[in-house]
Amino acid sequence: MIQVKSFFAKNDLRNFTYLIWDKNSGSSWVIDPFDDKAIIDYIKKHQLVLRGILNTHQHWDHVRGNAGLKSLLNCSVMGKECSPLELIEGHKLRFLETPGHTLDHQAFIWEHGHKHQCLFSGDTLFNSGVGNCRDGGDVDKLFDTTKTLLSLGDEVVLFPGHDYVKKNLLFAKSCEPENRDIDKAIYRLQAANPEDGLGWTLGDERKVNPFLRLDSHEIRQKLLSPEMGLDDEFQIERHLFRKLRQLRDNW
């Protein structure tokens, strides 16, 4: 039986690390290790075997624990050639190229049969937000990537690389003051423990994430003007995405 253990780093960046492990065999894989000591302690406590390290991208806070894990647990970083990675029979982890936050960014999709279970999105997609593009990224590629992720089903659970949800929701509220789903999400957040994650699905995100709500009347009313001369829907959405990312960068 496959399980997911979240590790929350109590640092300014509020990183998440995820350990995927099989309760029957003890095989495990870690995504974006920040604190190798916490991961090693957990692996030893539960008598697991670390089969590999997966990194969504090469920013230091997502690879910080690689060296310690490789040294003490004799494992290696797994590249795209390993995709799809078989966890147990019928369960796979598929690597998906998701450039934007960085040009080499990838995400991981847990599949059970032909059904998508979870998306480990790194710094591409956050709860109620998307990644910035300031350090080696490209906002147009991020827009294209986000459009691709929208093809995944509403039931897919999102496991992001950071907990930025509080500020993201407040930004979302500034974009859509009349969106009651954002109010409900802010209220639910008051009782949430960041160490446990939120367990929101992509269906939840479509209700509160402004970068997934480019058809919103409120967002369009705020950010579009007739003199722009945009009449192609795809270009309108791209413009809105760029504008939202620019606003969030300075918010």
Q: What would the pLDDT profile of 37-61 be if each residue is shown by its tens digit?
A: 999 999 999 999 999 999 999 999 9
pLDDT at 228 over 70: no
- In degrees rounded to 5, what are phi and psi of residue 94? -100, 135
Output the pTM of the full model. Answer: 0.95
| The pLDDT value given to residue 102 | 97
- Mean pLDDT value of segment 13-31: 96
| The pLDDT value given to residue 111 | 95
Containing 39, the helix (H) or strand (E) segment is helix 36-45
Give residue 227's pLDDT band: very low, low, confident or very high (50, 70, 90): low
Token digits of residue 216:
């919103």
The letter for the amino acid at 66 is: N
| The pLDDT value given to residue 114 | 85
| The pLDDT value given to residue 224 | 87
Q: Are 67 and 35 in contact (CB under 8 A)?
A: no
Closest CA to 108 of 126, 84, 129: 84
Q: What's the mean pLDDT when you consider all of the chain?
A: 94
Give the Cα separation of 155 and 201 in Å (integer): 6
Q: Are 57 and 104 in contact (CB under 8 A)?
A: yes
Containing 205, the helix (H) or strand (E) segment is helix 202-208
Q: Which value, in Å, is the radius of gyration of the alpha carbons in the chain?
A: 19
pLDDT at 138 over 70: yes
Q: What domains are there in the chain, each with its CATH number?
A: 2-249 (3.60.15.10)
pLDDT at 122 over 90: yes
Q: Are 21 and 93 in contact (CB under 8 A)?
A: no
**How many CB atoms neighbour CB 23 within 10 A?**
12
Percent share of the chain, pLDDT over 90: 85
Q: What would the pLDDT profile of 157-211 be if each residue is shown by its tens digit?
A: 999 999 999 999 999 999 999 999 999 999 999 888 877 889 999 999 999 999 9
